[in-house]
Amino acid sequence: MSDLILALNTGSSSVKYRLIDLGADDTIASGLVERIAPGGHRDAIRQVLDTLAAEGHRERIAAVGHRVVHGGEEFTSATVIDDRVEQRIEALAPLAPLHNPPALAGIRGVREAMPGLPAVAVFDTAFHAQLPESARTYAIDREIARRHGIRRYGFHGISFQYVSRSCADFLGHMPERMIVLHLGNGASAAAIAGGVGVDTSMGFTPLEGLVMGTRGGDLDPGVMVQLLRSGMSLDEVDDMLQRRSGLTGLTGTRDFRDVATAAERDEEQAIRALEVVAHRLRKYVGAYAAVLGGLDALVFTAGIGENSPLIRRDTVHGLGFLGLSVDVARNETVTSRTREISPEDASVPILVVPTDEEQEIARQTAEQLRT
Ligand code: ADP
């Protein structure tokens, strides 16, 4: 029996892995290697494979699926990795300097340790490959945009794909017009028409859109110009945008739970921060309902979306005109399964769907190797 797929998520300082038996719908092994120093990824991969060997699983790995954040214009679906694909992923590094190089190190690390093992790259951008021109175009000088590949790419696609499918399974059909809110440390919204992504809040980079743990989302680009002119260095501005904005910028803490607890204690900053978060969410729900021409389902997922009744309540507050409301008891119910939190007779179902990116990586990997 050797039908196990290793789903690998190699981030800047960690490697998350899960060995999945898709046939039996079972996780055989999983783990996390943390605090990886720059350049230490190949060692970390070796450590993962050694652990799997010690547990007697290594020989049963049939294929590996690598999460790759940025697939650029070129990769519009998961892709079997060969030398050319590896080179193309390397060439995309400037578009995702924090994310693609570790993924590439993961790809190379596995290939070194287990040459010949089939490998597939699963891209976070691929779900958004069919964004219409109008949604993916920034209204800037066309020649500059072309030269630098500047357009909306969108991220969290592996999660959006998994959640769309789960949602369709739960409802018995794929909703024609659906909005998914992926609310974790990073957060983004997607407008999805019949299972296809038609707009999304993250853009050229994962900085745009919703308010996140350390990133502020939408920002007038004039702010950056002003800060640079006023003497802040490029690195300082970059650091502010990546690490010192969002919840961190507004409250000093990046963890949503801590901010929610502070708000319960009536701390003014935390209360104001949650208002900014909810305002942005409501704005995107309204905008995407307009993009889709109506709404047939709203879905919450990821750490905050799955676990915070507060954010779900505040997001739909005042959106009754779109057919959205939460049932208080259903919203407060804690389970780890897909569930509906709108009232029984609601015209638009609101769902909470636990996301599972590793499962989706494994599924797409198997799919690519079958074709
Ligand atoms: P990542 O983007 O790193 O995968 P997650 O999807 O794990 O992030 O989400 C992390 C966020 O989820 C954190 O802000 C954390 O505070 C929040 N979170 C986790 N559990 C809860 C909970 N029970 N209530 C509210 N927020 C929660």
Q: Ligand 1 center to residue 356 CA distance, Å?
A: 14
**86-139 residue pLDDT tens:** 999 999 988 888 889 999 999 999 999 999 999 999 999 999 999 999 999 999
| Tokens encoding 101 | 């190089």
Match 């450590």 to its residue by tokens.
47
50 catalytic? Reply is no
Classify 91 as helix, strand or coil.
Answer: helix
Q: Which is catalytic among the residues 43, 124, 258, 356?
A: 124
- Residue in the block written with tokens 């991969």: 45
Enclosing H/E stretch for 200: strand 196-200
Pocket of ligand 1 (CB under 6 A): 184-186, 213, 255-257, 302-304, 307-308
Instruction: Report the C-alpha gap between 113 and 52 in whole angstroms.
Output: 12
Q: List pLDDT tens digits, range 309-341.
A: 999 999 999 999 999 999 999 999 988 899 999
CA distance 160 to 300: 11
Q: Which residue from 13, 69, 257, 357 has its CB within 8 A of the most atoms of ligand 1, so it is best to mutate?
A: 257
Ligand 1, atom nearest to 260 Cα: 25
A 10 A CB-CB count for 87 gives 11
Cα 277 to ligand 1 centroid, rounded to whole Å: 14
Return the number of other C-beta atoms located less than 10 Å from residue 241's C-beta. 20
What's the sign of the alpha-carbon dihedral 139, 140, 143, 146?
negative
Query: pTM for the whole thing?
Result: 0.96
For a pocket test of ligand 1, which of 180, 185, 361 has the largest count of ligand atoms closer than 8 A to its C-beta? Answer: 185
- For residue 230, the SS3 value is coil
